[in-house]
Amino acid sequence: MSKVDSTGRSYQVIEIADLRRLALIARKDQVDFFMNYPKWANLYSGREICIALCQGAALHYIDRCTGINDFDVYVFYRRNPRKNLYPKRIKSYDFGDAKFGQSQDQPNFVGRRVDCLVRSIDAIENEDVEISIQRYLIDGKTKTARLLAAKAVLLLEPNCGKVIWPR
């Protein structure tokens, strides 16, 4: 059963199987997004860098004491010079398992809310994933980069479970 405090945060340990589940949710979200918006698919197909768990849940994976409010899963793409990927898009999904308790703001969900987001970042083709993401965080050119750098980034694909931030 989930270890949840009075604020609704879960302190349940995140395991590799949970990370793989998050990656599947993000992968399905991207397939659906590109199917519904072929213009974006034409611009960003083949430009994916990685899928990563970010923010508080990623920090909880590392320290096991931060607690989980929700799961923020980002898919990072190498920026297309013709157009930035729309950064305001956020799609929420149900984790689908009550292991981490239920999100208080989503009473119709079985489990925690999984927020799927995307970002297009400056990266060189075939550049090492860690280098691309770490440079994005260090440069801190956007509010999102600064917010993500304040906590943690954990790879879901490739190298599921590898912590790439903090270094």
Q: Are 68 and 14 a contacting pair, CB within 8 Å?
A: yes
**pLDDT tens column, 71-94:** 999 999 999 999 999 778 899 999
Q: Looking at residues 127-136, what average pLDDT do you find?
A: 97
- The stretch 37-61 carries a mean pLDDT of 97
pLDDT of residue 89: 87
Smallest CA-to-CA distance from 14 within 116, 100, 72, 98 is with 100
In DSSP notation, 67-114 reads -BS-EEEEEEEEPBTTB---TT-EEEEE-S-GGG---TT-TT-SS-EE
Whether this prediction's pTM lies above 0.75 is answered by: yes
Whole-number pLDDT of residue 2: 61
Taking 60 as the threshold, does the pLDDT of residue 155 lie above it? yes
Predicted pLDDT at 104: 87
